[in-house]
Amino acid sequence: MSLQQFQMCIGGEWTNAISGNTFDSLNPATGEAWAQFPDASAEDVNRAVEAADTAFRSAEWRSLTPTARGKLLRKLGDLIAANTETLAQLESTDNGKLIRETRGQVSYLPEFFYYTAGLADKIEGETLPLDKQDMLAYTIREPLGVVAAIIPWNSPLYLTAIKVAPALAAGNTIVLKPSEHASATLIELVKLAEQAGIPKGVINVVTGYGPSTGAALTSHPKVRKIAFTGGAATARHVIRSSAENFAKLSLELGGKSPQIVFPDADLDSAVNGIVAGIFAASGQSCVAGSRLLVHKDVYEQVINALVERASRIKIGNPQADESEMGPMATAQQLAVVESFVERAQAEGARLRLGGKRPDVDQGWYYEPTIFECSSNADYLMQEEVFGPVAAVIPFETEEEALAMANDSQYGLAAGIWTRDIARAHRVARDVHSGIIWVNTYRVVSAMGSIGGFKSSGYGRESGIDSVLEYTERKTVWINLSSEPMADPFVMR
Ligand code: NAD
């Protein structure tokens, strides 16, 4: 079977790598190669950054008013809406995500563009209430320049939209580096941006591996901001790269998010929320609710209901509408899941469900897996699996639940299940996480910000402040006095 061929977009030109090198992308549902992408070298990356820098300085981009930039983003949103099915099918083929999930994500994508388009002409400066009457000072928010966006494989379009939209709204240009495991939809997005009339060079895409293409991009001297989503170990490399160029950084990293079930919760709803948190997207979600803290009075009831519901999950072809769990996105990720399960068993965690691959001929599938743990210090309670593996532990008091929830290197999201309104607010206040969901889980909106505490990263994406992450504040001082400058050796 011949492989589908993709090219990179640099300065508006569709191109292969200078070396001619390529790499294959594998379909996780079959394990077979389906597409081929250019393997960009440092030289290709340099071309892309130069193109983005030229576009940033160009009269064509600079002369667009913020309102005009907003209109371009709105048009891109419309084009995404018109191509939802194609994009959803492509992403499902590339990363093995359920078609119902990719359809859901892609059909909400235009909202991020519409919302952020509206922010483009609301990036305002301030006048300062100075303590010097002979001076006027005001601030201007300016774009930074070239943004490097590094994207993981699990939700490429969504994680790109929340970077591209604010970066362009604020007047920057961008070079996208998709994951080597899921590059296809970002290339299609750039084609739609072209159709929307976004000038050449404003959005570029280079494909390739992290340590080569990614590192060349993040350390490039003309990159002014790095918007990174991925794992903590990779983030450390990216931080080191940014020591070369002093680019601003935002880091959206992993999590080990707790779901806390109190005894007064609607337990049916909580069990559904737990299933959504850990088994949707086969657990390959940064906000996966992978640590379940359940009050001892309802512990058996919750765990039995969870085992019962999870055992009915339909594992299968991600492109089939009836499937509820697809494969792991890569063979490596499947091996990671298997090694976590082995270690949990060796350390004495009690397996209640799954713990193995299902009986299928092909594809990187893994069964929904539930372990009971005896200590929050267990490896499985502390480390991100990024797969369909839940670790459950009982608690007795709210204080104990809070202590366990916060005893983690991560702080991305948390779920709280209770009907007690005072407790809901108290626990929401005291859990150290960037996102708290009460009696629900995995809800996103263009108006809501995403980002973590501690090893889950820093900076926020999406929401009203997202555009400000792509600006630099400048302060302008005007001398209002008609008197000559005073003593030049004294700071005013
Ligand atoms: P990863 O860290 O392996 O890769 C992410 C991206 O970084 C890829 O494009 C990769 O090619 C690139 N990369 C790798 N090495 C690099 C280097 N030295 N320099 C520059 N770039 C490099 O992550 P992944 O396996 O693709 O995705 C899974 C991880 O992403 C999980 O930890 C998950 O929690 C996290 N994630 C976080 C969020 C969030 O919003 N917080 C969302 C999705 C995924």
Domain assignment present for 450: no
Domain assignment present for 490: no
pLDDT at 275 over 90: yes
Task: Determine the average pLDDT of the residues in 175-197.
Answer: 98
Cβ–Cβ < 8 Å for 114, 447: no
Mutate to test the pocket of ligand 1, among 234, 336, 410, 442 (most ligand atoms within 8 A of CB): 234
Confidence of residue 452 (pLDDT cuts 50, 70, 90): very high
For the entire predicted model, the pTM comes to 0.96
Domain assignment present for 487: no
267 and 246, same domain (yes or no) = no
Establish whether 13 is a catalytic residue.
no
Question: H or E stretch including 71?
Answer: helix 66-82
**What sign does the dihedral 129-135-138-139 (CA atoms) show?**
negative
Q: CATH number of the domain that 216 lies in?
A: 3.40.605.10
Q: Residues, the chain, total? A: 492
pLDDT at 71 over 70: yes
Task: Determine the average pLDDT of the residues in 79-104.
Answer: 97
319 and 379, same domain (yes or no) = yes
189 and 264, same domain (yes or no) = no
289 and 390, same domain (yes or no) = yes
243 and 263, same domain (yes or no) = no
What confidence tens digit (pLDDT) does each residue in 129-151 have? 999 999 999 999 999 999 999 99
Domain assignment present for 446: no
pLDDT at 1 over 70: no
What confidence tens digit (pLDDT) does each residue in 392-440 have? 999 999 999 999 999 999 999 999 999 999 999 999 999 999 999 999 9
242 and 294, same domain (yes or no) = no
| Contact residues of ligand 1, CB 6 A cut-off | 150-154, 159, 177, 179-180, 209-211, 214-215, 218, 229-231, 234, 237-238, 252-254, 286, 384, 386, 412, 450
Domain assignment present for 445: no
pLDDT at 124 over 80: yes
270 and 315, same domain (yes or no) = yes
Establish whether 286 is a catalytic residue.
yes
Domain count, the chain: 2
140 and 273, same domain (yes or no) = no
245 and 263, same domain (yes or no) = no
- What domain range is 27 assigned to? 4-253+456-475
210 and 290, same domain (yes or no) = no
**Position with higher pLDDT, 62 vs 486:** 62
Task: Determine the average pLDDT of the residues in 313-342.
Answer: 96
pLDDT at 81 over 80: yes
Exposed (0-12), middle (13-18) or buried (19+): which is 280, by Cβ within 10 Å? Answer: buried
249 and 267, same domain (yes or no) = no
Q: CATH number of the domain that 379 lies in?
A: 3.40.309.10
**How far is CA 331 from each of CA 16, 93, 156, 167, rounded to the nearest angstrom?**
27, 15, 18, 33
What confidence tens digit (pLDDT) does each residue in 105-122 have? 999 999 999 999 999 999
- When the pLDDT of each residue in the chain is averaged and rounded to a whole number, the result is 97
pLDDT of residue 59: 98
Domain assignment present for 444: no
319 and 215, same domain (yes or no) = no
**What sign does the dihedral 423-425-426-430 (CA atoms) show?**
positive
